[in-house]
C-alpha cells in the first residue's frame, strides 16, 4: 500500500476531501523549503514539491517566476532528495514531486526514481503523456512510487480510461483549458470531468487542480464529487509576497492552509 | 533503407514524439488526422499549388553566381528563397498550414518568431485568408528586428512581446504554447520550423519540400546532373530539410547543415545545437539541445536571430546520427564576411541566417571538400533587409 493511497482511504472514511498543496522547491531559497513544507503539512494532506525548470510551458506567470527565483537561489534537481529527507524528519505526509520531463530524463529515470523512493511517494510530469511514459511508469513502480497523470477537459472519453490505468495514487484533473495560475471562478467543465472519471473508475481518486485559489473554490470542487483539490499558484503567491520575512510567511501560510483544509470537510 | 519513410509513429528513429501537456494531445491528433486527410486531397494540393504560384511567387529561380563562383573556385548556385513573397522560405509553410487551419474550422492562428520572418509570413497568410493572427516574439528580437515587427503590425497581426527567460525564440515558443493550451479549441498553432511535437516536424518538412523538388528539376535542366553538394543554414531546420529531403537517397550528393557558431564554441555564446548539444526534450520533441548538467535549457547566441535557438528538429538529429548530413558551424564574423561578399559580388543582400550557408561554401573549398568543377547549391533562405541595422552595428564594431 502506498502512503498516498492510505491517505485517500482514510480521508474517505472520515468524509473528507484531500487538500493537496503545491509549492516550488527552492523558492525563495532551498534552506526555507523544509520549514515552509512543514508548516503547510500541518494542514495539508499531501504536499506537492515542484522542481524548477527553465522552460515551464504548462505554468502561468506565478509559477514561472517562482521557478526563476528557485533556480537563481541554487535549487537543483538532486537537491530535491535532501530537501525531502529534511521534511521527512518532521512529518509523515505523502510527498509528490512535480517536474518537467527533461531534468528527470537528464538525471536518469531509473536513478531518479531510486532516489525519490528514499522519502518521496509520487511523481507528476506535466509534459509527459502516457504514450511516452512506459519507462517512467516501469521504474516508478519498481521503486514503489505512484505515477500521477493528468486528464484535461479536451481528453476524449476512451482516453480517460487509459490515463487512469497508467495512474496510481490519484489522477490529476485539469480544471480548465490553460496554464496554472489563480483564477476568480471555477470553470464549469470540471464538473462533467469529475463525473466522468468517478463513473469510469472507482479505484482511483480524482483530484482537481489549476486555478483553485480560495476556500469557496475548494468547497465547490468538493461538492462536485472530487476526492482531492490541488492548490498551487495561490500558495506560491503568498510565499512570494512574504519571501523576505519568514516570521510573517509561516503564520500566514498556516492560516491560509487551515482555511483551505477546513473547506474540504463535507 | 529508404530514409524518406520516416517518421514512423511520430518518431525519426529515437527522436521526435509528443512531449506536451495532456490538454494538447487531442489537438495534435486532430491536426495529424487533418493533415493526413488533406495532404492527399487533390483539391487541397491544387489550392496550395495555386497560392504558391500566384501569391508566393513560386517556382523561385536557381541562380548561378558567376562572379562569386570565380572568386571562390567552385560552381555556386543559389536557390532564391529570398524572392518568395515576404522575403523568406517561411511562406511555403505558412500558406500550407493556414489552408489547413481553415479546413479545420479554426478562426485564429498564433505563431512564434525569432527573426520575424516566420511571424511576417504568418501575418501575410493570416491576412490573405482572413484569420485572426497573433505573434509571440522575444523582447530582444523585437529590438533587433524592428522592421519586421512594423511589417507584421501593418499586416494586421498583433505582436506580443515576450520578456521571460532569454527573451528570444525559445521563450516566444513557450508563450505560444501557453496561448495554445488556453485557446486550443478555436486556435491553430502555426509553428514555423520542423521542431515541436509530431506532426509538426513531418508537416512543416512536407510544406518545405518544394525547395528541393524545384532545385532538383532546375539543376538537372542546367547542369544535366545532380549537384555535388547542398548547403543550408539550420535554425530549427526547415529550409535545410526542405532542400535536402528529395536528395536524401542520392548518395552522391553531399549534404551540409550549417549552424550558428556565434562567437565560437569555446565562448559558449553560440546556437550550435547539433554540433555541440546533447539529447533531451524541449518544446515537445526529443532531439539534440543545448542544456546544462541539470537538464536546464541554456540561452543561445547568434548574430542571426533566426538561428538563435537551443533546440533543433528531430529529423536532423536522426540524419546526424546516421551520418547522412554533415552538421558544422560558421561564426558571426564569417557570416558577416559572406554577407558582404554576396552584396558586392552578386548584388544580393542575404539574410544573416542564409549568409551562414554561403560562408560555409568558402570553407568547403578551402578544405578541398569541393573543387572548381563541383556544383554546389546553397539555399538562400531569405533576404537581408531586416538585418541592415544589426549589420551596420556589427561592421562599426569591427572597424570603428
Ligand atoms: C531567412 C531565414 N533563414 C533561416 C531561418 C532558420 O529557420 P529554419 O532552420 O527553420 O530554416 C530563419 C528563421 O527565422 C530565417 O528567417
Compute CA distances B118 → B78, B136, B138, B382, whole Å. Answer: 21, 11, 13, 11
The one catalytic residue among A48, A121, A146, A237: A48
Mean pLDDT, range B275-288, rounded to an integer:
98
B265 vs B105: CA distance, rounded Å: 46
Chain A CB contacts of B22 below 8 Å:
129, 149-152, 154-155, 163, 174
Rg (CA), chain B: 19
Q: What is the CATH number of the domain that holds A72?
A: 3.20.20.70
Which of B115, B116, B288 has most ligand 1 atoms within 8 Å of CB, for mutation? Answer: B115
Residue nearest to atom 15 of ligand 1 (CA): B306
Please say if the pLDDT value at position B183 is more than 90. Answer: yes
Whether pTM > 0.95 for this model: the answer is: yes
pLDDT of B226 > 80? The answer is yes
Q: Any idea how long chain A is?
A: 266
Interface pTM (ipTM) of the complex? Answer: 0.97
Classify the C-alpha dihedral B54-B56-B62-B67 as positive or negative.
Answer: positive
Bond into B59 cis (ω within 30): yes
- Residue with the bigger pLDDT between B397 and A139: it is A139
The mean per-residue pLDDT over the stretch B57-84 comes to 98
From B352's Cα to the closest Cα of chain A, the distance in A is 27
User: What is the predicted pLDDT for the residue at B2?
Assistant: 59
Q: What share of chain A is helix, strand, coil (3-state, %, to 5)?
A: 50, 15, 35
**Cα-based distances in Å from B214 to B93, B168, B207, B209, B210:** 15, 33, 13, 9, 6
Task: Residue window 192-251, chain A: list those with CB within 8 Å of chain B.
Answer: none
CA of B295 to the centre of ligand 1 (A): 26
How confident is the model over A213-228, as a mean pLDDT?
95
Please name which of B243, B393, B400 lies closest in space to residue B332, comparing C-alpha atoms.
Answer: B393
Report the alpha-carbon distance of residue A25 to residue B73 in Å, rounded: 59
* Range B194-208 average pLDDT: 98
DSSP letter for B265, please: G
Cell for B290?
Answer: 543545448
How many domains does chain A divide into?
A: 1
pLDDT of B1 above 60 = no
Q: Are the C-beta atoms of residues A122 and A116 closer than 8 Å to each other?
A: no
* B237 close to ligand 1 (CB < 6 Angstrom): yes
Where in the sequence is the domain holding A89, given as residue range(s)? Answer: 3-262
pLDDT tens digits along B295-308:
999 999 999 999 99
pLDDT in tens, B87-116: 999 999 999 999 999 999 999 999 999 989
Amino acid at each position: 500500500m502506498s502512503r498516498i493511497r492510505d491517505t485517500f482511504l482514510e480521508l474517505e472514511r472520515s468524509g473528507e476531501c484531500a487538500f493537496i498543496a503545491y509549492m516550488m522547491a527552492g523558492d525563495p531559497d532551498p534552506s526555507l523549503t523544509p520549514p515552509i513544507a512543514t508548516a503547510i503539512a500541518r494542514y495539508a494532506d499531501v504536499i506537492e514539491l515542484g522542481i524548477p525548470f527553465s522552460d515551464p510551458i504548462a505554468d502561468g506567470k506565478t509559477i514561472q517566476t517562482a521557478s526563476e527565483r528557485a533556480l537563481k537561489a541554487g535549487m537543483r534537481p538532486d537537491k530535491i532528495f535532501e530537501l525531502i529527507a529534511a521534511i521527512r524528519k518532521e512529518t509523515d505526509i505523502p510527498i509528490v514531486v512535480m517536474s518537467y520531463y527533461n531534468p528527470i530524463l537528464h538525471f536518469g529515470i531509473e536513478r531518479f526514481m531510486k532516489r525519490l523512493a528514499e522519502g518521496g511517494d509520487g511523481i507528476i510530469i506535466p509534459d509527459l503523456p502516457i504514450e511516452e511514459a512506459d519507462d517512467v511508469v516501469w521504474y516508478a513502480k519498481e521503486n514503489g512510487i505512484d505515477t500521477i497523470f493528468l486528464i484535461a477537459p479536451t481528453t476524449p472519453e476512451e482516453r480517460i480510461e487509459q490515463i487512469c490505468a497508467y495512474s496510481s495514487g490519484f489522477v490529476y484533473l485539469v480544471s480548465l483549458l490553460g496554464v496554472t495560475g489563480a483564477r476568480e471562478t471555477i470553470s464549469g467543465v470540471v464538473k462533467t470531468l469529475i463525473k466522468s472519471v468517478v463513473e469510469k473508475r472507482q479505484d482511483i481518486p480524482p483530484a482537481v487542480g489549476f486555478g483553485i485559489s480560495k476556500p469557496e473554490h475548494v468547497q465547490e470542487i468538493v461538492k462536485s464529487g472530487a476526492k482531492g483539490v490541488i492548490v498551487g499558484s495561490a500558495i506560491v503567491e503568498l510565499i512570494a509576497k512574504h519571501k523576505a520575512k519568514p516570521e510573517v510567511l509561516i503564520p500566514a501560510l498556516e492560516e491560509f492552509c487551515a482555511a483551505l483544509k477546513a473547506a474540504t470537510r463535507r | 533503407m529508404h530514409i524518406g519513410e520516416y517518421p514512423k509513429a511520430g518518431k525519426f528513429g529515437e527522436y521526435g514524439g509528443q512531449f506536451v501537456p495532456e490538454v494538447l494531445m487531442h489537438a495534435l491528433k486532430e491536426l495529424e488526422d487533418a493533415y493526413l486527410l488533406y495532404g492527399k486531397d487533390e483539391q487541397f494540393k491544387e489550392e496550395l499549388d495555386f497560392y504558391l504560384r500566384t501569391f508566393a511567387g513560386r517556382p523561385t529561380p536557381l541562380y548561378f553566381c558567376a562572379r562569386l563562383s570565380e572568386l571562390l573556385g567552385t560552381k555556386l548556385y543559389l536557390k532564391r528563397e529570398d524572392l518568395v513573397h515576404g522575403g523568406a522560405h517561411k511562406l511555403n509553410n505558412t500558406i500550407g498550414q493556414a489552408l489547413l487551419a481553415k479546413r479545420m474550422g479554426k478562426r485564429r492562428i498564433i505563431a512564434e518568431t525569432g527573426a520575424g520572418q516566420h511571424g511576417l509570413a504568418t501575418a501575410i497568410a493570416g491576412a490573405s485568408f482572413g484569420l485572426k493572427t497573433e505573434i509571440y516574439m522575444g523582447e530582444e528580437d523585437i529590438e533587433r528586428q524592428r522592421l519586421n515587427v512594423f511589417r507584421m503590425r501593418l499586416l494586421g497581426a498583433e505582436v506580443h512581446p515576450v520578456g521571460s527567460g532569454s527573451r528570444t525564440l525559445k521563450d516566444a515558443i513557450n508563450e505560444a504554447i501557453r496561448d495554445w493550451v488556453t485557446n486550443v479549441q478555436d486556435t491553430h498553432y502555426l509553428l514555423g520550423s520542423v521542431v515541436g511535437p509530431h506532426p509538426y516536424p513531418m508537416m512543416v518538412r512536407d510544406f518545405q519540400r518544394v525547395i528541393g523538388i524545384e532545385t532538383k528539376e532546375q539543376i538537372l535542366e542546367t547542369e544535366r546532373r545532380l549537384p555535388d553538394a547542398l548547403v543550408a543554414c539550420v535554425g530549427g531546420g526547415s529550409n535545410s530539410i526542405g532542400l535536402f529531403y528529395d536528395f536524401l537517397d542520392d548518395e552522391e550528393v553531399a549534404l551540409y547543415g550549417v549552424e550558428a557558431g556565434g562567437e565560437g564554441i569555446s565562448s559558449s555564446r553560440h546556437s550550435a545545437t547539433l554540433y555541440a548539444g546533447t539529447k533531451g526534450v524541449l518544446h515537445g520533441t526529443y532531439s539534440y539541445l543545448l542544456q546544462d548538467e541539470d537538464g536546464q535549457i541554456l540561452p543561445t547566441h547568434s548574430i542571426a536571430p533566426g538561428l538563435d535557438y537551443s533546440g533543433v528538429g528531430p529529423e536532423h538529429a536522426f540524419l546526424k546520427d546516421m551520418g547522412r548530413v554533415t552538421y558544422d558551424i560558421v561564426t558571426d564574423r564569417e557570416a558577416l564576411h559572406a554577407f558582404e561578399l554576396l552584396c558586392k559580388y552578386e548584388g544580393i543582400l542575404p539574410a544573416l541566417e542564409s549568409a551562414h550557408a554561403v560562408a560555409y561554401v568558402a570553407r568547403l573549398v578551402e578544405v578541398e571538400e569541393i573543387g572548381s568543377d563541383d556544383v554546389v547549391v546553397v539555399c538562400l533562405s531569405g533576404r537581408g533587409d531586416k538585418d541592415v541595422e544589426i549589420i551596420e552595428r556589427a561592421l562599426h564594431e569591427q572597424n570603428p
